[in-house]
Amino acid sequence: MRSVLVSGADSPTGERLVRTLLGDSRVDRVLAVVRGKVERSPLMASDRLRIVGVDLASARRAHELLFGPARDMAIDVVVHLGHLTPPGEEGERAHAQSVESVRSIIELSERHPTIRRLVLRSDAAVYQVQRDLPVLIGEDHPLNMAGTAPQYVRDRVEADVTACVRMGLSPLQIVVLRMAEILGPGTGSQLFDYLGSPVCLRPAGYDPMLNLLTQDDAVAALQRAIHSEAQGVFNIPGADTLPLTACIASWGRLSIPVPGVWMTPLYRWRRLVTGHDFRYGMNRRRFHYSGVLDGTRARQVLGYVSAHPVDWPSPVWDREPR
């Protein structure tokens, strides 16, 4: 039986994970950590679920959480989702949330009396995508260490590496799940935001392959990581691998190719006018070059296989008979 702490339980993935764990007979108790107020959480506390509101950007609050409620509940697995900030959040506060919370949770968990396993959700944004790198991205694929990368990416890489460097050295079992982009609201998905417009501009002449994950598959992967004894880095791809144009069409949007140099100013203008968050500069490379996560290791070690495709509003191209 596991007792699991889920940070970021107020995110769509976190909330769904908590509900799944409550229905999992192998899980004894769940400690759900939300960033905001507990009363706003749609989760209902019970004898198996305790909900606490903690700002994990503060190392002091993290300490009080782990050596307070988590110790009392004999938590043995921590699933850290609470470090994921939206791409638009920048500055010291976002860095503390994204990176320092990971650092402090690892440090605290290593000397914790009951915690023995940490599952960290990372994402595919940590990988470098460029023309001379493989389309199929394995766990040893180069990370995006460019100093010019947006803070959102740099923080994710730093958080990921912070966990990776402790693997094998730490008494903790550390699992890092690098997930494909989850196409859904509240997930920080740039593509979801991009598809929010009826017309989607794309760089003319390019149609890269994308891989997309669903909440159901993300939760299934997290659940497997919780119950496994394995540690390491695992790519978590989704069931949908398709070109950008097929993605746009299947979402019921109109795709218009424009010269690549127009993309940044047009989408900057869109952000200013409509309040959308999609930043072309953050996505420029993957709008040119294909990058698809290779889930072989997750399949072989964790037994994870993507089984829940995206529920496309208008899947037009893939259903026609040949």
Partner 1 sequence: MAFPPALARALARMGLPEAERERLAALHYHDAGHGYDLFGMHPDFVAFGEALVSPLYQRYFRVRSCGAHHIPSVGPAVLAANHSGNLPIDGMMIWADVLRQTDPPRVARPIADHFVPSLPWVGTLFARTGMVGGSRGNARALLESGNLLLIFPEGVPGITKGWSKRYQLQHFRVGHAELAIRHRAPIVPVAVIGAEEQYPELFSSKRLGALFGIERVNVPATPIPLPVRYHIHYGPPIRVDEELRPSDADDPAVVAGVAARVQEAVAALITAGLAARKGVFL
Instruction: Please identify which residue in 134, 171, 265, 281 interacts with partner 1, judged by CB under 8 A.
Output: 134
Instruction: Return the bridge partners of 179, or none.
Output: 123, 236
* Three-state helix/strand/coil letters over the chain: CEEEEEECCCCHHHHHHHHHHHCCCCEEEEEEEECCCHHHCCCCCCCCEEEEECCCCCHHHHHHHHHHHHHHCCCCEEEECCCCCCCCCCCHHHHHHHHHHHHHHHHHHHCCCCCCEEEEEEEHHHECCCCCCCCEECCCCCECCCCCCCHHHHHHHHHHHHHHCCCCCCCCEEEEEEECEECCCCCCCHHHHHCCCCEEEEECCCCCEEEEECHHHHHHHHHHHHHCCCCEEEEECCCEEEEHHHHHHHCCCEEEEECHHHHHHHHHHHHHHHCCCCCHHHHCHHHCCCCEECCHHHHHHHCCCCCCCCCCCCCCCCCCCC
Instruction: Please identify which residue in 1, 165, 204, 258 interacts with partner 1, judged by CB under 8 A.
Output: 204
Residue 262 binds to partner 1 (criterion: CB under 8 A): no
Residue 197 binds to partner 1 (criterion: CB under 8 A): no
Alpha-carbon span 318 to 194, nearest angstrom:
21
Residue 243 CB, nearest distance to partner 1 (Å)?
6
Nearer to partner 1, 56 or 292 (CB): 292
Residue 123 CB, nearest distance to partner 1 (Å)?
19
Residue 195 binds to partner 1 (criterion: CB under 8 A): no
Residue 186 binds to partner 1 (criterion: CB under 8 A): no
Nearer to partner 1, 127 or 267 (CB): 127
Residue 315 token pair: 């899947």
Nearer to partner 1, 221 or 246 (CB): 246
Nearer to partner 1, 14 or 203 (CB): 203
Instruction: Please identify which residue in 39, 47, 92, 132 interacts with partner 1, judged by CB under 8 A.
Output: 132
Residue 205 CB, nearest distance to partner 1 (Å)?
2
Residue 249 binds to partner 1 (criterion: CB under 8 A): yes
How many C-alpha atoms does 279 have within 13 Å on its Cβ side? 12
Q: Which part of the chain contacts partner 1 (CB under 8 A), choosing from 42-50, 68-76, 77-85, 247-255?
A: 247-255
Residue 224 CB, nearest distance to partner 1 (Å)?
21
Residue 191 binds to partner 1 (criterion: CB under 8 A): no
How many C-alpha atoms does 48 have within 13 Å on its Cβ side? 16
Q: How many residues bind partner 1 (CB under 8 A)?
A: 39
Residue 67 binds to partner 1 (criterion: CB under 8 A): no
Nearer to partner 1, 38 or 239 (CB): 239
Residue 103 binds to partner 1 (criterion: CB under 8 A): no
Site for partner 1 in 277-316 (CB under 8 A): 288-290, 292, 294, 309, 316
Q: Which part of the chain contacts partner 1 (CB under 8 A), choosing from 29-37, 112-120, 166-174, 200-208?
A: 200-208
Residue 288 CB, nearest distance to partner 1 (Å)?
7
Residue 270 token pair: 């869109």
Question: Are the beta carbons of 278 and 193 closer than 8 angstroms?
Answer: yes
Backbone angles phi, psi at 147, to 5 degrees: -65, -20
Residue 133 binds to partner 1 (criterion: CB under 8 A): yes
Residue 40 binds to partner 1 (criterion: CB under 8 A): no
- Which residues contact partner 1 by CB under 8 A? 131-136, 138, 141, 202-209, 239-246, 249-250, 255, 257, 288-290, 292, 294, 309, 316-318, 320, 322
